[in-house]
Structures are given as structure tokens and as C-alpha cells.
């Protein structure tokens, strides 16, 4: 029994076109951005920085209150708090 390539490349081309259309980047109107010091920065960058700051603040609060000694999986908890902060900023500031 020998394996041979399909004589019809059409299904592969159709699949490639469908996947390419589904993975398109931004909407036709462009990515959400804001003007900062004369340059346009993407909104996701601001939300990411705020999320990192939120995770850092949560870590400092856990250590300061002594909760870090009792809390398991601190990295996962602080990461979840940071992601939540970033998503909330995105929804409140740039959501529809």
C-alpha cells in the first residue's frame, strides 16, 4: 500500500483561505489607539501595563497583610488579578 498526495489541492486551498479570513487582525476601522505625547499607542498596551501594575499591587497587598503565608498558588492568583484588571480597563475604557 502506497500513500500518495491528493490530486486535488482545492480543499487545502479553501481551508487556507478560510483560516486566513478568520485570523484577520483588526477591524477595517483600525486598532483602538490613543494619543500620548504626540504618538499613537495601542490601547492593549495601556491595558497590559495596568494589568501588570494591578498584579504588583495585589502582591504587595498580600505580603503586607500577611495573607501571602496562607495563600497557595500566589503566582496564579496575582496573574488572575492582573488579567482581571486589564480586562476591566479594556471594557470600561474601550469596550462597546
How many Cα atoms within 13 Å fall on the side-chain side of residue 36? Answer: 8
pLDDT score for 60: 95
Angle at 83 between CA 86 and CA 24, to 5 degrees: 75
pLDDT score for 7: 60
pLDDT score for 94: 75
Question: Which residue blocks in the chain are alpha helix, DSSP H?
Answer: 10-22, 43-65, 74-94
**34-43 pLDDT per residue, tens:** 676 777 778 8
Q: How confident is the model at residue 85 (pLDDT cuts 50, 70, 90)?
A: very high
pTM beyond 0.85, yes or no: no
Element (H, E) at 73: none
Element (H, E) at 34: strand 33-36
Is pLDDT at 96 greater than 60 in this prediction?
Answer: no
Amino acid at each position: 500500500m502506497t500513500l500518495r498526495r491528493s490530486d486535488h489541492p482545492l480543499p487545502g486551498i479553501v481551508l487556507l483561505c478560510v483560516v486566513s479570513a478568520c485570523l484577520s487582525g483588526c477591524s477595517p476601522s483600525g486598532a483602538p489607539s490613543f494619543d500620548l505625547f504626540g504618538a499613537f499607542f495601542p490601547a492593549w498596551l495601556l491595558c497590559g501595563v495596568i494589568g501588570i501594575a494591578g498584579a504588583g499591587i495585589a502582591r504587595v497587598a498580600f505580603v503586607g497583610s500577611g495573607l501571602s503565608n496562607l495563600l497557595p498558588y500566589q503566582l496564579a492568583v496575582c496573574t488572575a488579578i492582573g488579567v482581571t484588571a486589564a480586562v476591566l480597563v479594556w471594557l470600561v475604557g474601550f469596550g462597546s
